Structure 1
Amino acid sequence: MIDAYLRLLGVSRKPPSPQFLHELHRAHVNRVPYTNMEIMLGRPGTVDQAESVDRVVRRRGGYCFQLNGAFAVLLRELGFTVTMHRGYVVSDLAQTAADLNHLALLVHGLPDEQHPDGVWFADTGLGDAFSDPLPLRHGDHRQGPFGYALADTPRDEPGWRLHHDPTGSFLACDVIAAPAEITDFGGAHQHLSTSPASPFTQVFTAMRRTGREVQILRGCVLTVLDDYGREEQQLLSRDEWRQALADLFGLIDDGLDRLWPSVRAAHDTWAAKRADQSA
C-alpha cells in the first residue's frame, strides 16, 4: 500500500531528510485533495489510519483526520519520527474554547542549517494552508499567495497558534504541544462528519494547494488564488462541475450525479442572497 501511496504522489523512496519531507508534503497537498466528498455522499468512514491510507490511495481525498492520519502512516513507514497533536481551528482570534476539530502533525529529528532544532509542523489537512512544512518556531512565513505566522497559543495548554493569511479560509489554528493518539479524534470526526450543524455536511468543498496557487471549489464556485490575485468562476452545469472535480482534484464518483441537484440548489440560494445584499 505504501508503494501505491508513493506512486500516487509521484515520489520515490529516500532516506528521511528535511528535503524529502518537503517533497512529500508538496506532492501530498498537490495530488490528494482536501474534500468532504465522502461525507456528502454519506460515507464518512472512521479515523482508522489504515482506512485513511486506503481512501487516499483510491483517490477519495478527505479532511484533516483522514489526510494527516494517512500522511503520518506514510512518514513513519519511510522512517520519519512523527507525533500527532490535537488542533483547534478558530473563527475568532479571541476564541480559546473551540471544540476539537483538527489533527496536526509534528515531524522530529530533521535539523538543517536554517532550522537546527529540526522539528517541523507538517499539515496536509488544512485545505488552503501551507504547501511546505513550517519550522516549528515563532515567526512569519510566506508561501505563494499566503503569509503565515506561528506564535504561542492563547489556550490554557502549551502549544502554538498558526495565523493564516487574511485571505485564507480560516483565521487561525491552535496546536497543542502534548502528543495525541488517533483514537482521541474519533468523537470529533463522528460529530463533524454527521451532524447537520457541521460545516462539513452543508457545502460541498474541494481544495488543492500547489506551490504558487490555491484552487477551491465550494458549491458551484471555483476560486483560484495566486500572487496576482483572485479569480472566480461559477460552474453552473453538472458536466462542467464534474469536469472540474476530475481535472483539478482527481475526484470521480458516480454518486456526484446524485449530489448535483442539491449542490446547484444551494448555490442558487446563496447567489440570490448575495444579489440582495449587493442591491
Structure 2
Amino acid sequence: MNLDAYLKRIGYVAPVRADLDTLNGLMDAHVRAVPFENLDIHAERPILNTAEAAYEQIVTRGQGGWCYEMNALFGWVLNEIGFEVTRLSGGVRRAKLGDDALGNHLCLMVTLDRDYLVDVGFGGSQISAIALEHAETLHPPLRMALVPIEDGYWRLHEGGWGSAMSFDFRAEPADEALLARQHDLQISDPNSIFRKTLTAKIRRGRAYHTLRGRMLETNHPGRKETRVIQSVDDMRDVLRDLFGLVEPDLETLWPMMTARHKQLFPHAHR
C-alpha cells in the first residue's frame, strides 16, 4: 500500500487521521474520482479477489471497480490510517431474492464513537458514513434510509424510505468464503446482472451519472436527463470524458451492448 499514491488518485489533500471528518472526506473524494464499473467482467479479463489486485486496478492503472474491489481497497486504506474496520457480507435485493443474495456485496463497518456503515462500492450512491441507527440520510442527489429488520439484519434503501433497491447486512465480520464464492459466481454466471449489463457510475459535482449499456442517465437535484449512446465512438468519448475510463476492447463489446440495450429498453428510440 502506497497511501500517498492512493490519496493522489482520489485527489485528497487534507491531513489524514482516524476520525469521522477524515472518513467522510475520503469517501466523498473516492466516489467522485473512482467510477463504479464492470468493464473487466464484460471483456473477460482475469479478476483477482484481493486488495492488492484492487490497488493495481484502481491506483496503478487508474481504472474503476465493483464492490469487491472498491471496498477491499478502501478498507485497506482505512486500516493503514488507523481506523477499526470490519468487512461485512451484504445481500443486494435480499428482500426479493432471499438469503441466496447474501455475500453478493462487500461493504464495511467502521467503529469510531459508534458503528458506521461505510460503502464506496454500491455504485457511489453513499458519500458519507451512515451511523447504524434507524434514519434517513442525504447523499445529494440521493437519499439513503437505514432500517433495522428481523434476525439482527439492517436494510439500506438506496433512494430513501421503502425504495426497492436495497441491500441487507449484519454488523458482524463477513463470511469470507461466502464472499469469495459469490465474487466468482457473479463473474461466471450468465444470469448475473454484472455479466448481462455493462455498467458505470460516477459523481461529478452535484450530478450522479449512471451508464447501463447504451443508456446514460444523469440525476441532478430535482431533475433527470437520459440519452442513448449512438455509436462506438460516442461510447468511447463518454467512458473517457465522463467516467475517466479507457476500454481497449470496446469494438468487440459493442454488439453485446446493442443487443442488451434492445432487451432493457425495447421501446426506446434508437
Compared with structure 1, are the counterparts of its residues 44 and 165 closer, same or farther at alpha carbon in structure 2 (3 Å cutoff)? Answer: farther
- 1:269 Cα offset (Å): 4.8
In the TM superposition, 1:170-209 aligns within 5 A as: 171-180=165-174, 182-209=176-203
Residue 38 of structure 1 is matched in structure 2 by: 40
Amino acid at match of 1:164: E
Residue 134 of structure 2 is matched in structure 1 by: 138
1:214 aligns to 2:216 (yes or no): no
In the TM superposition, 1:205-244 aligns within 5 A as: 205-210=199-204, 212-244=206-238
CA distance in 2 between counterparts of 1:46 and 1:170 reads 31
Compared with structure 1, are the counterparts of its residues 167 and 217 closer, same or farther at alpha carbon in structure 2 (3 Å cutoff)? Answer: farther
Of residues 204-213 and 136-145 in structure 1, the stretch that sits farther from structure 2 once superposed is 204-213
Task: Please list every run of 5 or more consecutive structure 1 residues that lacks an aligned counterpart in the other structure.
Answer: 112-116
SS of 1:254's equivalent in the other structure is: coil
CA distance in 2 between counterparts of 1:108 and 1:60 reads 29
CA distance in 2 between counterparts of 1:90 and 1:17 reads 31
Deviation digits for residues 115-138 of structure 1 (CA, Å, limit 9, x no counterpart): xx3x22110111152122212211
Compared with structure 1, are the counterparts of its residues 162 and 69 closer, same or farther at alpha carbon in structure 2 (3 Å cutoff)? Answer: same
On the 8 A contact 1:26/1:210 being kept in 2, the answer is no
Deviation digits for residues 207-244 of structure 1 (CA, Å, limit 9, x no counterpart): 11356331001111110012121100111011111111
SS of 1:21's equivalent in the other structure is: helix
Amino acid at match of 1:265: A
In the TM superposition, 1:1-279 aligns within 5 A as: 1-12=2-13, 13-57=15-59, 58-90=61-93, 93=95, 96-100=98-102, 101-109=104-112, 111=113, 117=114, 119-154=115-150, 156=151, 158-165=152-159, 171-180=165-174, 182-210=176-204, 212-271=206-265, 273-274=266-267
Compared with structure 1, are the counterparts of its residues 173 and 270 closer, same or farther at alpha carbon in structure 2 (3 Å cutoff)? Answer: closer
Compared with structure 1, are the counterparts of its residues 244 and 168 closer, same or farther at alpha carbon in structure 2 (3 Å cutoff)? Answer: farther
Deviation digits for residues 85-109 of structure 1 (CA, Å, limit 9, x no counterpart): 1101116x46543422111101112
Deviation digits for residues 120-167 of structure 1 (CA, Å, limit 9, x no counterpart): 21101111521222122111112212222111133x3x2311122169
CA distance in 2 between counterparts of 1:78 and 1:128 reads 22
- 1:253 Cα offset (Å): 2.5
Of residues 138-147 and 223-232 in structure 1, the stretch that sits farther from structure 2 once superposed is 138-147
- 1:61 Cα offset (Å): 1.3
Q: Percent same amino acid at aligned positions?
A: 32
Task: Please list every run of 5 or more consecutive structure 2 residues that lacks an aligned counterpart in the other structure.
Answer: none
Number of residue pairs the alignment of both structures matches? 265
- TM-score, normalised with respect to structure 2: 0.90
CA distance in 1 between counterparts of 2:9 and 2:263 reads 37
Amino acid at match of 2:34: V
On the 8 A contact 2:144/2:161 being kept in 1, the answer is no
On the 8 A contact 1:48/1:182 being kept in 2, the answer is no
